[in-house]
Structure 1
Amino acid sequence: MRWTELFDDLEAQLAAQEAAELLGEVAEHTRAATGQVLLRDRLLADLGRRIHLTLRGGEVLDGALSELARDWFVVQEQLPAQGREVLVVTASVVSVRGLSGRSDQGRRSRVQRSLDLRHALRALSRDRAVVRVRDVEGGVTVGTIDRVGADHLDLSAHPDDLPRRSRDVHSVVTIPYAALACVTRS
């Protein structure tokens, strides 16, 4: 009987060791898979969810994630008077609070696959919308986007309570996309 007990004990130790190795492999595969998840995959899984953002330059936004593209997303802020939509450049994000922890790598929206920042800025330019452009240093320029280039935009700066008229434009500011934090319709 001593031999039987010894073999049973050795067999139990071997089974425990194999189980521990398997758990270690599962954990390593999980860490490796998590290492492949992009921020946009996390944001995509949380469309419609309320998030809190801090952007380069100190801008803080709180609202629902409503649209998502390759290098930008839209947050619908809920202000006391009215909500406003803010186009956020993903590269300007310092931190995000409120994500669920889920990711959605398998599903890509049609917008996410096809539209880059230039498409969104061209739409604002085409609408002749008065916008507030916040840069990554915290500066704000108000005006109308006149031109959207490959890596920059030209903004005719004018008072936010006036439409773009030549007489009201006090300067034209060229802003590289790398300096954009967010754009808000006034």
Structure 2
Amino acid sequence: MRWEALFGDLEAQLDATRRADLQAELGERVRAERSSVSVVDRVRAASGARLRVWVAGGLVVEGDAIEVATQWVLLADGVRRVLVPTDALVGMAGLPAIAAPPAGAVERRLSLGHVLRALARDRAAVVVVADGYELGGRLERVGADHVDVTPVGGGAAALRTVPFGALRVVRSG
């Protein structure tokens, strides 16, 4: 009987060690997977959810997440749409703990310039919030890293060029 008890005890110790190793490995895998998740992946998982977004410069925007790309997030607040460059984000509330799968090739290529060009093409009335000012008008030309905005009632002399890095929010609707 003593041999059987000894082997039973050794087997129980081995099982306990295996369980502990498995738990440690599982924890390490979870941490490794979380380290590869981007905030954009979490926003994509929040599609349709109400988010509160803090933007550089102290602005707070709320809306339902409706579209997301690597360089921008589009929120809906009723009929109004609010485009926020991801570089302007300083905090978010309302994100789920889960993440959507990585973006596809097309989504990864939808830059901030693409969405601004669509607004310019549609001649949409917008409010551009940049560092230090708000400007209502229309987007005229969109370059690689900047956008030209003609203020409401202004002509070519009133045109402002805003670098993408200074953009905080573009509102339409």
Q: Does the pair score TM above 0.5?
A: yes
Within the alignment, does 1:171 sit opposite 2:158 as a pair?
Answer: yes
2:141 to 138, 147, 151: 147
Change (3 A) 1:155 1:106: closer
Within the alignment, does 1:180 sit opposite 2:162 as a pair?
Answer: no
Tell me how far 1:44 sits from its aligned partner. 1.4
Identity score, percent: 39
Tell me how far 1:10 sits from its aligned partner. 2.3
TM-score, structure 2 length as denominator?
A: 0.89
Residue matched to 2:23:
23
Mapping of residues 40-119 of structure 1, within 5 Å: 40-78=40-78, 83-106=79-102, 108=104, 110=106, 112-119=107-114
Instruction: Verify the 8 A CA contact 1:118 1:148 in the aligned structure 2.
Output: yes
Structure 2: gaps of 5 or more residues: none
Instruction: Verify the 8 A CA contact 1:132 1:143 in the aligned structure 2.
Output: yes
C-alpha distance in 1, partners of 2:63/2:12?
54
C-alpha distance in 1, partners of 2:75/2:149?
22
C-alpha distance in 2, partners of 1:145/1:21?
58
Tell me how far 1:94 sits from its aligned partner. 1.0
Query: How well do the aligned residues superpose, as a CA RMSD in angstroms?
Result: 2.1
C-alpha distance in 2, partners of 1:105/1:29?
17
Residue matched to 1:131:
126
Tell me how far 1:121 sits from its aligned partner. 0.8
C-alpha distance in 1, partners of 2:98/2:27?
17
TM-score, structure 1 length as denominator?
A: 0.83
Mapping of residues 2-13 of structure 1, within 5 Å: 2-13=2-13
Say which SS state the counterpart of residue 150 (structure 1) adopts: coil
Instruction: Verify the 8 A CA contact 1:71 1:117 in the aligned structure 2.
Output: yes
The number of residues matched between the two structures is: 173
